[in-house]
Amino acid sequence: MKAVVLLSAGRHPNSGAPMPVRAELQAIALGRRLGCIVGGLHAGAADKAIADCLGHGLATIAVLAIGPDDDPIPALAAEIAAIAPDLILAGRRGQGGADTGLLPYRLARACDLPIAADAVAIAREADDTLSVVQSLPRGARRRLSLRTPALVTVHQAAPPERPFVYRERLAGRIDEKPGLCVPAQAIGFENRPYRPRPRLIGDGAAGGSAEQRLRAATETKSVGGTLMIDPDPADAAAAILDYLTAFRARS
């Protein structure tokens, strides 16, 4: 079985220094534990964070050279179509940039592949079927069967990454080649002040009337506090001081 791990140019959250994304290193470990031939794939410029992934279990990394304003999806989709891997592994999201976590889903749609999110364990059921254990909220787990080829994102609760081996880092190889350059489409965002949302599930008694249940499901309860939109610094400081004074008096 051939597996590809999608790699991103991670940055340390405090210093900004190049560093691999831990979830992607965990994806490498899952692929190696599955017995796959694992390679790395990155769309963008060569980066020290990408090169360091060689020391965690990758023998080769393919770097598709595209511009900073290009969309990585066409380049990644074209390369995946060329190498035809059985399994594509990725982290939940990158680290240190404009990381939305949407790239695995966009890539799965572009390649017409099934996707399973937040995997913590992967096992082989048959030649073309995998058993994937997903991480759910509050520590729950769910097992599902996934037919390959497929794309799987890895949760941070997966087993830890393989230790860094400097000898493997030196022995690894980075293959740079031009990627398919397609300018990314600009996505407009609108910033709006917070407003209370209606409750989707009310806490009214199940035996109440239809009117009572509707009111309990749609009414918005006040939680206190004051909403200040672009306040004057002096007014904001006074509001914070009043809040701290009231909090101290209650405690």
Q: What mean pLDDT do residues 109-113 have?
A: 94
Q: What mean pLDDT do residues 95-124 have?
A: 89
The Cα–Cα gap between 77 and 162 comes to: 28
Instruction: Give the residue, 96 or 47, on which the prediction is more confident.
Output: 47
pTM, whole model, 2 decimals? 0.71
Contact 56, 162 (CB under 8 A): yes
Output phi, psi for 225, to 5 deg.
90, 170
The Cα–Cα gap between 179 and 65 comes to: 5
Instruction: Could you please state the CATH topology (level 3) that the domain comprising 2-178 is classified under.
Output: Rossmann fold (3.40.50)
- pLDDT for res 151: 96
Region(s) of the chain under CATH 3.40.50.620: 2-178
Tokens 């940055």 belong to 11
Examine the pLDDT at 14 and tell me if it is beyond 90: no
The pairing of beta strand 60-65 with beta strand 173-178: parallel
Residue range 27-68, pLDDT digits in tens: 999 999 998 889 999 998 888 889 899 999 999 999 999 988
Examine the pLDDT at 217 and tell me if it is beyond 60: yes
Buried b (16+ CB within 10 A) or exposed e, 109-138: eebebebbbbbbbbeeeeeeebebbbbeee
Band of pLDDT at residue 216, cut at 50, 70 and 90: low
Band of pLDDT at residue 187, cut at 50, 70 and 90: low
Residue range 148-158, pLDDT digits in tens: 999 999 999 99
